[in-house]
Amino acid sequence: MRATHAISSKTLPCAILVLAIFVPLSSCDLIHSTCRKTPNFQLCASILRSNPKSGSADVRGLGLIMVGSLESKATSALHTIKQLLRTKPHLKIPLIECSKKYSFILKYDVTEAYEALRLGDPKFGEESMNDSAMVAQECEDGFKRFPCPITSVNKDAHDISAVAAAIIRLLL
Q: What phi-psi label fits residue 73: left (phi over 0), alpha (psi between -120 and 50 degrees) or beta?
A: alpha
Under the banding of pLDDT at 50, 70 and 90, the label for residue 155 is: very high
Tell me: the pLDDT tens digits for 100-137? 999 999 999 999 999 999 999 999 999 999 999 999 99
- Asked if residues 133 and 158 have their Cβ atoms less than 8 Å apart, the reply is yes
Q: Where are the domains of the chain?
A: 2-169
Please state, in angstroms and rounded to a whole number, the distance separating the CA atoms of residues 168 and 130: 11
Q: Is the pLDDT of residue 26 over 70?
A: no
Tell me: the pLDDT tens digits for 61-93? 999 999 999 999 999 999 999 999 999 999 999
Q: Percent of the chain beyond pLDDT 90? A: 84
pTM: 0.84
The torsion angles phi and psi of 93, rounded to 5 degrees, stand at -65, -55
Please state, in angstroms and rounded to a whole number, the distance separating the CA atoms of residues 169 and 45: 17
Q: Percent of the chain beyond pLDDT 70? A: 84
CATH of 2-169, one of 1.20.140.40, 3.40.50.2000, 2.60.200.20, 3.40.50.1820: 1.20.140.40
* pLDDT score of 27: 56
Under the banding of pLDDT at 50, 70 and 90, the label for residue 9 is: low
Under the banding of pLDDT at 50, 70 and 90, the label for residue 14 is: very low
